[in-house]
Structure 1
Amino acid sequence: MLFNASLVNAQTNCTLYKDKAHQLACQYYTEAIQYGQGSKKSQQLFIQSLEACATFAPTLHEMSVPYLKRGDFYTWKVLMDEAVKADAIGYLGDRGWCYFKHMDDYENCYADLYRLYKLTGGHPGYTGDGDYDLRILMAISQREMGNYKLAMRFFNECIADHRKNNTLGLFDYLHRGATLLRMKKYTAALVDFKLEMVKNQKLADVHYYMGLTYLAMHNKGEAYNSFKQARELYIKTGYRHTDPYCEEPDQVYLADINNALGKLKHPGAQ
């Protein structure tokens, strides 16, 4: 039987499950999540939950998270694989996201997310932190594997849906623009970066990538201005694409900006 995580997270009444094994597993799970993540007490309760029902997917998933954060990817994967086996729709997205975020495993990330994409009729949902539509991760994964055509297919599909529903993601245009830049489609990349600026005007990363694009177009004056703006925003506001656990896709560092500025003599340099 399949039990989606949203069912457990939304409910307070474990008797909604039809059999006693899942009811008991749910009760232990509900108690366990009241304690600190990764604490001895919570993990003991998760073990009791699995003793009641070895295929209770929410417990398998939640129990795996502390191992992931500690870098014990083997134990995380053993538990997550069982969670996916018990509830594919509920946990394929999370496993795929973790492959992407913590391991740069683009092949397995794409395999999981594409399977979920097919199971959900092309709407696989969002990452656990809400930052990304999973189709954007599919696109970036294909890009990192060198498949630009397929990457653009998912970028374009996802962004078109977001525009239609007025639900644009925080970094949709940034990542598509960075991909177009790699493809040497500079005019199109510049359009995307300008669209990203409408949503994230103070994001240092987008100014940096605009600088790279102008530089590739032999417009050193605009490139210098963009790099300078990126540096000011990076230092003064600290508003940049970052994450406390891992390097983010297309993340920019101050050293990158300083290096780019160092290669240009002055704003009007040609």
Structure 2
Amino acid sequence: MKRTLFIALLCLPVWLYAQTNCEIYKDGPHNLACQLYDNAIEYPQGSKTSQQIFLESIKACPTYAPSLHEMSVPYLKRGDFYTWKLLIDRAVKADPQYLSQRGWCLFKFLRDFENAYADLKRLYTINKGQPGYTGDGDYDLRIIMALSQREMGNNKLAMQYFNECIRDHEKQGIVGLFDYLHRGVTNFKLKNYNAALTDLLLETKKYEKLADTYYYLALTYIKLKQPETGIKNLLKAKELYTKTGYHRNDPYCESPDQVYLADIELALRKYKGR
């Protein structure tokens, strides 16, 4: 069976449901909204019953952010970004911590890098440099800030966020699964080939069977005038991609720095005869 690596659980946000202690809300509207929220999450996400109860919760307290947020998620998954945005904007207004979800989803689903960064930078300031993680848990949001800046052409500012985040995580021994890959690719774009090589080799230690990493390693070795090593890495990337299926893939979204088989084969045709 092909073992394709699915990133971010089909690129859909995942939130763990837990009953809320509604007793923390002393006023009636908030308390009722909380109880209705707890009732709604007992039903399948996006079901008619669940959405109707969330609507009742919001009617009881129009500023109850958890219900506003949770009601928005099915619209996001269905591609109704307009309705999602109306609801998530109200959630953010009620509780700025939901900037994390709005910013991440603007980056992931809408490729709105400018507004994604603006949301996450605001949260970064509010939380004193610790904006938190993406809804799927794959990334520290500083990595998303870095990638947003990179996509806007601001590679040097992107590197500042990469370095800050990775340095913090190295101290704790919890570097993200793809953090070295993204910083390595960014170093490659900046023509810092030795730094790119270091990062990409670190990525192979983090996840040794990812075709995408070996593709970028190959390009880096070629730039460092080691074409034979480059070709070996391209061949390894192709093998991992075709025979074992270890590559980044998502049926809904293109993942950052994702590589396709066509990219690998094109590079092999270009460099193998040299």
**TM (normalized to structure 2)?**
0.91
**Residue in 2 aligned with 1:202?**
209
Read off the aligned partner of 1:62 and give its amino acid letter: E
C-alpha distance in 2, partners of 1:39/1:55? 22
Q: Give the letter for the 1:151 counterpart.
A: A
- Which of residues 62, 79, 92 is equivalent to 2:87? 79
> Aligned to 2:170, what secondary structure does the other structure show?
helix
Aligned partners of 2:120 and 2:131 also within 8 Å: yes
**Residue deviations 1:165-203 (CA, integer Å, cap 9, x gap):** 111000110000000111111111011000111111101
Q: For residues 18 and 210 of structure 1, what CA distance do their matches in structure 2 show?
A: 58
Between stretches 9-18 and 43-52, larger displacement belongs to 9-18
Asked if structure 1 preserves the Cα contact closer than 8 Å seen for 2:19 and 2:38, the reply is: no
Q: 1:107 to 1:258 in 2, by over 3 A?
A: same
Residue 167 of structure 2 corresponds to residue 125 of structure 1: no
Aligned position for 2:178: 171
User: Aligned equivalents of 1:77 and 1:157: distance in 2?
Assistant: 30
Which deviates more from structure 2 when the two are superposed, residues 254-263 or residues 169-178?
A: 254-263
How far did 1:81 drift? Answer: 0.4
- The secondary structure found in structure 2 opposite 1:35 is coil
Supply the AA of the counterpart residue of 1:53: C
- Secondary structure, in 3 states, of the residue corresponding to 2:137? coil
Match among 256, 260, 268 for residue 261 of structure 1 = 268
The answer for unaligned runs of 5 or more in structure 2 is: 1-15
Matches within 5 A, 1:176-187: 176-187=183-194
> What does the per-residue CA deviation read over 1:75-130, in whole Å, with 9 as the maximum and x for residues that have no partner?
100000000000002x0011000000001111001000000000011011110111
1:55 paired to 2:70: no
1:215-269 per-position Cα deviation (integer Å, ceiling 9, x unaligned): 223322111111110111112222222334311100111111111112233xxx5
Match of 1:37 among 26, 32, 45: 45
Aligned to 1:115: 122
2:24 matched to which residue of 1? Answer: 16
Aligned counterpart, 1:28:
36
Measure the CA separation in 2 of the matches of 1:35 and 1:190.
Answer: 49
Higher relative contact order (CA 8 A, sep 6+): 2
CA distance in 2, matches of 1:72, 1:13: 31
SS of 1:263's equivalent in the other structure is helix
Alignment of 1:204-243 (within 5 A): 204-243=211-250
| Conservation of the 8 A alpha-carbon contact between 2:17 and 2:41 | no
* TM-score (norm: length of structure 1): 0.92
Query: 1:12 Cα deviation (Å)?
Result: 4.1
**Matches of 1:57 and 1:9, distance apart in 2:** 15
What CA distance in whole angstroms lies between the structure 1 residues aligned with 2:206 and 2:134? 20
- 5+ residue gaps in structure 1? 1-7
What is the CA–CA distance in structure 2 between the aligned matches of 1:166 and 1:187, rounded to whole Å?
Answer: 23
> Per-residue deviation at 1:11?
4.3
Cα separation, 2, equivalents of 1:137 and 1:87 = 21
- Give the superposed CA RMSD: 1.4
Return closer, same or farther for 1:62/1:109 CA change in 2, 3 Å cut-off. same
Instruction: Give % identity.
Output: 63
The size of the alignment, in residue pairs, is 259
The residue matched to 2:249 in structure 1 has which SS?
coil
Q: Distance in 1 between matches of 2:217 and 2:45?
A: 41
Tell me which residue corresponds to 1:66.
74
Whole-angstrom distance in 1 between the partners of 2:264 and 2:187: 20
